[in-house]
Amino acid sequence: MTQLELAADVLNRSHEMLKGTLGDFSDADFYARPCPGANHPAWQIGHLISAETHMVAAFNPNATAKLPDGFDKKFTKETAGKDDPAFFGSKAQLMDQLAKTRAASIAWVKTLKPADLDKPGPEKMRDFIPTLGHTVALIPAHSAMHVGQFQVLRRKLGKPLLF
């Protein structure tokens, strides 16, 4: 297995773990907060979609899944306190967009060559993602961080423990 085959597989596996973590959440659960001031899953999924799209587009704008008009404006620090499902969308809509976004990222990674991993990251993000390779590694790590937050909410909601 090459580095890039591994990266594509890890992107897929991290997506499957996230889907499994949220699989038994209802639309109402998607708007539950583990504690005051914490973000609900709907906002977090939208944030993951926006962040992943932004990171991939920094290297290849044609490699991303198309986002609905205004999507990126819905998932900002300023909107994190909103609880209106009509504003963010349903669990099904968000999870469908996440699947499209991740599928596009996996397809992009499969087009890369090993030397591409050393390409410098975008100047404005270089302190956080110095290279394309760092970007490819950050996407599943970012998802995993949010899966940990969802696990806390699972406990609050009395759902079975996973993983």
User: How large is the average pLDDT for residues 48-76?
Assistant: 95
Residue type at 94 in one-letter notation: L
Which pTM value belongs to this model?
A: 0.96
Residue 124 lies in a domain: yes
Q: Tell me what pLDDT residue 121 has.
A: 93
Number of H helices, E strands in the chain: 6, 0
**42 has pLDDT over 90:** yes
The range of the structural domain enclosing residue 121 comes to: 3-156
Residue 162 lies in a domain: no
- Give the confidence band of 161 by pLDDT, cuts at 50, 70, 90: confident
Q: Tell me what pLDDT residue 83 has.
A: 93
d(CA 68, CA 122): 24
Residue 163 lies in a domain: no
* Domain tally, the chain: 1
Residue 83 lies in a domain: yes
Mean pLDDT of the chain: 96
Residue 10 lies in a domain: yes
The domain spanning residue 121 has which CATH number? 1.20.120.450
**3 has pLDDT over 90:** yes
Residue 161 lies in a domain: no
Q: Tell me what pLDDT residue 12 has.
A: 98
Residue 117 lies in a domain: yes
Q: Tell me what pLDDT residue 162 has.
A: 84
Least confident of 33-37, 45-49, 138-142: 33-37
| Digit-coded pLDDT (tens) for 70-117 | 998 999 999 999 999 999 999 999 999 999 999 999 999 999 999 999
